[in-house]
Amino acid sequence: MKEFAIQTEDLSFSYSKKHKILNKVNINVPKGSIYGFLGPNGAGKSTTMQLLTGVLVSEKDDISIFGKEIKSQMPEMFHKMGALVESPSLYMHLSAIDNLRCVTTLKSIDESKIYEVLELVGLLENGNQKVKKFSLGMKQRLAIAMTLLGDPELLLLDEPVNGLDPTGMTEVRELLVNLNKEKGITIFISSHLLDEIQKMCTYIGIIHKGEIQFEGTMEELASRNTDCTVLLEIGESEKHASILEEAYEVLRQESENQFKISLSSKEDIPEVTKFLIQNNIPVYQLRIEEGLENWFLTLTK
């Protein structure tokens, strides 16, 4: 049987009686996975994060971490778990080392570990610098470093790449994937960017308006979307548009020369090229539009 790092059972939460923030949310995060918790802003991601970490207290015993109910393990479970609930939670007036020292104090860890994690996130040289002077990427890395103190088995990260530039995103992503691979750390990431999740997660849970819309592996998600949308850029579109429309189902004309057409599967693409050549239609671009993205967009519209 699969072991789960996090499980919730019909987790519900509301600030007032009328407005439910979470409604019967079931999350199952397998051990050793990178779990992407996806949803648009306001879907209930942060509230879920706060509940999973006990920052908000759930009334019922509906959350278990490491297979045990959360309340019974508070606050000791944080020895095995690193969390970044609102990013970044850093003391701007302190140096990076002092920030890490805050965590080592609470976790009762030797201070030498501070340099290990600083090296891991590539901030060893900036240790004595005030965090105020850090770039956003550095702050984010430091925040992750703080969660890594004490060799956690589980990381909970709320939007860890939010606001980073592409290089920063890649850096963080690589760091997390490495941690997962090398140390076997289970990572739970929340994000509103599908692209980001797709790039590193093995499992995914999608939440919208406080309810789980999908949960499963990336493959399961992909197989749900067998439809294939192709973006086509052609020349002399006035002349050829009607021919194209007759042969294929045009979803949308994106611009003067760009069309989106729907195919039943990827395998149909060579057929399309053939058709275009045969009809003497000049092709400038032919690209597969992400099917998942569309699905996600429709879901959250």
Partner 1 sequence: MKTIFPYLKKNLKLELIKKKRSGIFTLSIILGAIIPLVFFIVRLFVYSKGIQKGGGIPVNYYFETLNNEALVGFSYFLFPILIIISASKITQIDHKNKGWNLMETQPTTKASIYFSKYLVLLASNLIAIVSLLFSVVVFAFLLSVFFELPSYKIVSIPFEDFFKVGARLFIVSLGVTAFQYSISVLISSFIWPLLVGFLAMSASTLMRKSNLIMNWYPFQQLGDVSVYPRGSDLGTNWFTFSELLSILYSVLFLFIGYSWYYHKIFIRAFFKSKKRSLSVVGVVTILGLLIYSVVIPKQQERSNKTVVKGTVSGNVPLKTFYVFGVLAQDTLAKIPIIDGEFRGELTGDLKFDTYFIEFEKYYGQQLFFGKNDSLQIDFKIYGRQNKIEITGTRLAENMKIKSSRRYSTVKYYLDRNINLDKDEFFVKEILREWELNLGEIHNKRTVDNFIPSDDYLARQTKIVSLRSLNNWDSYKEKVKKIFPNKIIKDADKLEDLENSVYLNDADLLSVEEYYTFVLKKLIQKDERIEVSDSQKHFEAIDKLEPSLFKDRLLFKHLKNSITNAVEIKTRDSLMNRYLSSIKKESYQKLLVKELYNQNRLTKGNVAPDFVASDTNGKTFELKDFNGKYLLIDIWGNWCKPCLQIAPKFKKKALQYKNKNIVFAKMNFGDSKAIWKVSSKKKDTLLFDLKPINEKLFIKNYNIKKYPTFILIDPEGKLISSDFSRPDYPLFDEILNKYLVE
Residues that bind partner 1 (CB under 8 A): 15-16, 50, 53-57, 59, 74-79, 81-86, 88-94, 98, 101-103, 105-108, 146, 156
Residue 202 Cβ, how far from partner 1 at the closest point, in Å?
24
What is the smallest separation between the CB atom of 38 and partner 1, expressed in angstroms?
21
Q: How far apart are CA 189 and CA 208, in angstroms?
A: 16
Beta-carbon contacts of 4 under 8 Å, excluding residues fewer than 6 positions away, are 28, 29, 30, 31, 64, 67
Minimum distance, C-beta of residue 112 to partner 1, in the bound complex (Å): 17
Q: For partner 1, give the closer residue by CB, 87 or 257.
A: 87
Cβ-based nearer residue to partner 1, 164 or 244:
164
Residues in CB range of 184: below 8 A, 6 or more apart = 32, 153
Which residue, 38 or 83, is less far from partner 1 as judged by CB?
Answer: 83
- Cβ at position 226, least distance to partner 1 in Å: 41
Alpha carbon separation from 52 to 22, 77, 81, 258 (Å, rounded) = 13, 11, 11, 46
CB of residue 40 to partner 1, shortest distance in Å = 22
Of the pair 93, 183, the CB lying nearest partner 1 is at: 93
Cα dihedral 233/236/237/242 (nearest 10): -130
Which residue, 157 or 201, has its beta carbon nearer to partner 1? 157
